[in-house]
Chain A
């Protein structure tokens, strides 16, 4: 009995609840990101996307399928059902152990990184982050997304065939190269902020203005802040471009699309395992976008809206209870992530893809050097104007 009393049930139950909520939202967002990509790319190409399938309310007795304005909102449901009921076939020539664990490594490593991202301020006193107060937030994220590379390498290797092997090798080398500029590009940020705890980074941005848009705290930025905006902006550009490369999105699409003719590292995979790779790519996009939003765009903060404890907003919004604003902050966070995802999709359908040697040259020579110079410039500015 003493054991039952000594366990912190509140922590366990709230963490479980938050995990379920985050997983639900993120996995739902993954399928709808696929739908959004199909719609947005169709509109860019002067055609409409899928606009026929609605939510299957006719199964529940309604007269028509429900799909307001957009039409086609049930398309992701149809896709998921198709992927689930397809035959899950294991070819005879694959290395069975690696074949089975590769997709889980791919998507599992990415989903774990969502644990440290603060997706809201607080709700009824509980911080809206599955694992709050982790002092090494971004380091945790970089470590786990590096494990995602294993998923691709093992998939390419286990399939025991030419094209997956080449695709896997290319993809893994691309991802490893861009991890360099990914990590280096945010070092100036941590030099300025002085901390790595993602929750406290967002709180800093609430008081001092978003790192990318310093006027969102309502005050004019100081001279040092204006001067520091330039390294922050360069850091943002390099981080976003490296995030494109990490998630194998165009323009760094070579491992995935050159083998659109064949399939790349997921050639030999059928229903659910292919779905895990496919959705893992979009989950990586969402995880990357949430990290960019947290570090540069102020996380869950919107100027004028109070946080989950009711503090910090414009006066006059007191008539609504504090927990309502907690929910609004969660919605603001996911709204920013959705906007960034739309930007990812927009860039994909605009730019042609890089040749492999151009890609490697960009990663190892161009971005690496600029990120290094950025670190030195930030150090000099911070030495001259200590804040």
Chain B
């Protein structure tokens, strides 16, 4: 059944479109005036004003590895983050912990752990999948370097960004 769309009835002045044009001009003039008077607060002048103080809790910055409160590196080189990383930014070379080390019962540790920051998309999947709560996304977003080699964060750099984290591992928390 053909359905005819009813066009609205326009008065004579509305048909000339002049009132609508003038109304539109008033709207844009209002925006212009508010910007000049400083009443609009949407602009952040970037290098002088940074959002660092008020980033939300869930903000995803660069990934980092953490050690626990006893100084043990939490990562056990299970390579789950390497497999789930969408752009394949993480490269892990697992190694065996020597039998005489204090943490020998963990058995595995990463000999090399590289995250290529030119590939990382800051999605947070590595943090979500890690069973040992070893990798977290921090709040820094401006990762720069003078060469491609500098843009690859190796293990020492990652622990340096990460620091220490106390507390339970989520795998012992049935609610998580």
- A58 lies within 8 A of chain B by Cβ: no
Please tell me if the beta carbons of A46 and B24 are within 8 angstroms of each other in the complex: no
A203 to chain B, nearest CB (A): 33
- When distances are taken between beta carbons in the complex, the residues of chain A under 8 Å from B40 are 46
- When distances are taken between beta carbons in the complex, the residues of chain B under 8 Å from A43 are 31-32, 35-36
Please tell me if the beta carbons of B35 and A46 are within 8 angstroms of each other in the complex: yes
Which residues of B (1-55) have their CB < 8 Å from a CB of A?
21, 24-25, 27-29, 31-32, 35-36, 40, 42-43, 45
- Contact string against B for A residues 15-49, beta-carbon threshold 8 Å, 1 for contact and 0 otherwise: 00000000000000000000000001001111110
Choose from A40, A45, A48, A350 the contact partner of B24 (Cβ within 8 Å).
Answer: A350
Please tell me if the beta carbons of B28 and A46 are within 8 angstroms of each other in the complex: no
Please tell me if the beta carbons of B35 and A349 are within 8 angstroms of each other in the complex: no
- When distances are taken between beta carbons in the complex, the residues of chain B under 8 Å from A48 are 35, 43, 45
> Complex: how many Å from CA A48 to CA B40?
11
A236 to chain B, nearest CB (A): 13
- A347 lies within 8 A of chain B by Cβ: yes
B151 to chain A, nearest CB (A): 27
Choose from B24, B36, B43 the contact partner of A351 (Cβ within 8 Å).
Answer: B24
- When distances are taken between beta carbons in the complex, the residues of chain A under 8 Å from B35 are 43-44, 46, 48
Please tell me if the beta carbons of A46 and B21 are within 8 angstroms of each other in the complex: no
- A89 lies within 8 A of chain B by Cβ: no
Please tell me if the beta carbons of B28 and A350 are within 8 angstroms of each other in the complex: yes
> Complex: how many Å from CA A44 to CA B33?
8
Number of A interface residues in the complex (CB < 8 A): 12
Please tell me if the beta carbons of B43 and A349 are within 8 angstroms of each other in the complex: no
B39 to chain A, nearest CB (A): 11
Please tell me if the beta carbons of B32 and A40 are within 8 angstroms of each other in the complex: yes
> Complex: how many Å from CA A115 to CA B137?
66
- Contact string against A for B residues 78-105, beta-carbon threshold 8 Å, 1 for contact and 0 otherwise: 0000000000000000000000000000
- When distances are taken between beta carbons in the complex, the residues of chain A under 8 Å from B28 are 44, 346, 349-350
> Complex: how many Å from CA A43 to CA B28?
9
Please tell me if the beta carbons of A350 and B25 are within 8 angstroms of each other in the complex: yes
- When distances are taken between beta carbons in the complex, the residues of chain A under 8 Å from B25 are 346-347, 350
A142 to chain B, nearest CB (A): 26
CB nearest to B31 among chain A residues: A44
- Contact string against B for A residues 42-64, beta-carbon threshold 8 Å, 1 for contact and 0 otherwise: 01111110000000000000000
CB nearest to B33 among chain A residues: A43
- When distances are taken between beta carbons in the complex, the residues of chain A under 8 Å from B21 are 350-351
> Complex: how many Å from CA A43 to CA B38?
11
CB nearest to A348 among chain B residues: B28
Please tell me if the beta carbons of A46 and B42 are within 8 angstroms of each other in the complex: yes
- When distances are taken between beta carbons in the complex, the residues of chain B under 8 Å from A351 are 21, 24
Choose from B29, B31, B45 the contact partner of A46 (Cβ within 8 Å).
Answer: B31
Please tell me if the beta carbons of A346 and B31 are within 8 angstroms of each other in the complex: no
> Complex: how many Å from CA A68 to CA B32?
20
Which residues of A (326-376) have their CB < 8 Å from a CB of B?
346-347, 349-351
> Complex: how many Å from CA A46 to CA B38?
10
> Complex: how many Å from CA A310 to CA B42?
51
Please tell me if the beta carbons of A47 and B29 are within 8 angstroms of each other in the complex: no
- When distances are taken between beta carbons in the complex, the residues of chain B under 8 Å from A40 are 32
- When distances are taken between beta carbons in the complex, the residues of chain B under 8 Å from A349 are 28
> Complex: how many Å from CA A43 to CA B36?
7
Please tell me if the beta carbons of A46 and B43 are within 8 angstroms of each other in the complex: yes
> Complex: how many Å from CA A378 to CA B31?
40
- When distances are taken between beta carbons in the complex, the residues of chain B under 8 Å from A46 are 31, 35, 40, 42-43
- When distances are taken between beta carbons in the complex, the residues of chain B under 8 Å from A347 are 25
> Complex: how many Å from CA A346 to CA B21?
11
A278 to chain B, nearest CB (A): 24
- When distances are taken between beta carbons in the complex, the residues of chain A under 8 Å from B31 are 43-46
> Complex: how many Å from CA A381 to CA B28?
38
> Complex: how many Å from CA A351 to CA B24?
7
> Complex: how many Å from CA A46 to CA B43?
8
Given A46-B35, A351-B21, check contact A346 B43 (CB 8 Å). Answer: no
Most B CB contacts (10 A, CB to CB) among A46, A48, A347 go to: A46
Given A40-B32, A346-B29, check contact A47 B24 (CB 8 Å). Answer: no
B161 to chain A, nearest CB (A): 31
- When distances are taken between beta carbons in the complex, the residues of chain A under 8 Å from B29 are 346
A260 to chain B, nearest CB (A): 20
Please tell me if the beta carbons of B42 and A47 are within 8 angstroms of each other in the complex: yes
Residues on B close to A: CB < 8 A? 21, 24-25, 27-29, 31-32, 35-36, 40, 42-43, 45
User: Can you give 22 A-B contacts (C-beta < 8 A)?
Assistant: A43-B31, A43-B32, A43-B35, A43-B36, A44-B28, A44-B31, A44-B32, A44-B35, A46-B31, A46-B35, A46-B40, A47-B42, A47-B43, A48-B43, A346-B25, A346-B29, A346-B32, A349-B28, A350-B24, A350-B25, A350-B28, A351-B21
Given A43-B36, A346-B29, A351-B24, 7 more A-B residue pairs with CB atoms under 8 Å apart are A43-B32, A43-B35, A45-B31, A46-B35, A48-B35, A48-B43, A350-B21
The 8 closest A-B pairs by CB, nearest first: A43-B35, A350-B28, A350-B24, A44-B28, A43-B32, A44-B32, A44-B31, A46-B42
